[in-house]
Amino acid sequence: MVEEIGTTTEGDLIINVGPQHPATHGVLHLVITLNGETIKKVEPHLGYIHRSIEKMCESLTYRQFIYVTSRMDYLSAHINNHACALCVEKGLQVEIPARAQVIRVLMDELTRIASHELWWGAMAMDIGAFTPFFHAFRERETINDIMEETCGARLTMNYMVPGGVMYDIHPNFQGRVKSFLQLYKLKIHEYAELLTGNIIFINRMKNVGCLSPEDAISYGCTGPTARGSGVSCDIRKYYPYDAYDKVEFDEVLETNGDSLARYMVRIREMQQSVRIIEQLIDNIPEGDFQAKTKAVLKLPKGEFYQRVETARGELGVYIVSEGGTTPYRIKFRSPGFSNLSVLDHIARGSKLGDLVAMMGTLDLVIPDIDR
């Protein structure tokens, strides 16, 4: 029962965090019931950035709808496009040239690094450290430049198309990626110096927002959020797509389930991405970058589902086709939505300052939650 002055009948304070608030990184609205500084309940309200992307996709052709999905999780646009392209290819049953497969994986992993970089900086800012943000952006900027050269865009790349990739890679691509990896290895110790080894940071993160493996599964958490609790769920390992079965990498797992574990998963995941890129960058096969497909794509009647591992977790694309040029129904299973749902569970009983740290380690991207 909410009274007019914003307290419950038990005398607890209700505050609205968002839709405009520096910690929500977007238009998320959290209604928080507070007892002093202690959180009693967190209620996320969604819908502020709902653009009905799923409905829009129904009126777009199988070539067109992919571009809209770049706007869902804008930090891993490549991976969203990749999922859609894979799903359409499943329906068309086309064989993707080996060159396109490798380029796709390279782009995915670069995106993953860029996304985790931004998460690192933004999360540090949430808990009050401003400087890491700029250090993270230095590296992310280099990746954006590489993307710009090959894809022509820095954020919404729209590079993956059904049948392969839109253009061949830029002649500078390999050289620039290699110099980026060199720079990255030089700078990665700065992350540990600035944040990971800081005693204040560890105190803020350790044993905060604990998520047990059972809860992670029952809430449907995926990606680094679940792997921080020790739930092995890497789609790249379990259902490898494109060139992922040809590369060696480890699935990063931490067992504590607290904020620090989720943090460490992402930090170590960046190093695994570097490992994947190193294996592939000198071994891009020659050949076509796109399979021959018809100008107008028509999927056979039926249902198609494809899951990929984005930077935030499992993204599922579900297409129902009636045999026409546009999908009958499209559903996206976005990782952020399930990861957000766990917030109330892990935040209860902790302090208001911890809520911000937890939201940071869940790595929420609001357009991905709302679509």
Partner 1 sequence: MWSISELATDIDAWLNKTFNPTLALAIEMVIAGVAVISLFAILGLVLVLMERKVSAWMQIRLGPNRVGPKGMLQSLADTLKLLVKEGLTPDGADKVLFNLAPFIAIIVAMLLMAPIAFAKDFQLWDLNIGILFVSAVSSIMVISILMAGWSSNNKYSLMGAMRSGAQIVSYELSAGLSILSIVVLSGSLQVSDIIRAQADGWWIFKGHIPAIVAFITFIIAVTAETNRAPFDLAEAESELTAGFHTEYSGMKFALFFLAEYVNVFIVCAIGATLFLGGWMPFHIGTWEGFNHVMDYIPSSLWFFGKTFFLIFVIMWFRWTFPRLRIDQLLNLEWKYLLPISMVNLLLTTAMAILGWYF
Q: Given the rule CB under 8 A, which residues bind partner 1? A: 6, 13, 15, 21-23, 37, 124-131, 133-135, 138, 194-195, 198, 200-201, 203-204, 351-356
The CB-of-179 to partner 1 minimum distance in angstroms stands at 18
The CB-of-200 to partner 1 minimum distance in angstroms stands at 5
**From the DSSP assignment, how many helices (H) and strands (E) are in the chain?**
15, 8
What are the structure tokens assigned to 142, written together?
A: 């280099």
Q: How many whole angstroms from its chain centre is CA 77?
A: 9
Q: Residue 50 in contact with residue 366, Cβ under 8 Å?
A: no
Q: Which is nearer to partner 1, 330 or 355 (CB)?
A: 355
- 3-state SS assignment for residue 207: coil
Q: Which is nearer to partner 1, 55 or 138 (CB)?
A: 138
Rg (CA), the chain: 21
Q: Residue 352 in contact with residue 37, Cβ under 8 Å?
A: yes
Which residue blocks in the chain are alpha helix, DSSP H?
A: 53-58, 65-69, 77-92, 98-126, 131-151, 173-191, 199-205, 213-218, 223-227, 235-238, 259-281, 335-341, 343-347, 352-362, 366-370
- 3-state SS assignment for residue 342: coil
How far is residue 173's CA from residue 155's CA, in Å, rounded to a whole number? 17
Angle of helix 98-126 versus helix 131-151 axis, rounded to 10? 160
The CB-of-306 to partner 1 minimum distance in angstroms stands at 36
- 3-state SS assignment for residue 109: helix
The CB-of-41 to partner 1 minimum distance in angstroms stands at 15
The CB-of-261 to partner 1 minimum distance in angstroms stands at 18
Q: Which is nearer to partner 1, 13 or 153 (CB)?
A: 13
Beta bridge partners of 39: 34
The CB-of-209 to partner 1 minimum distance in angstroms stands at 12
The CB-of-359 to partner 1 minimum distance in angstroms stands at 10
Q: Which is nearer to partner 1, 159 or 201 (CB)?
A: 201
Q: Residue 133 in contact with residue 123, Cβ under 8 Å?
A: no
Q: Which is nearer to partner 1, 17 or 247 (CB)?
A: 17
The CB-of-10 to partner 1 minimum distance in angstroms stands at 16
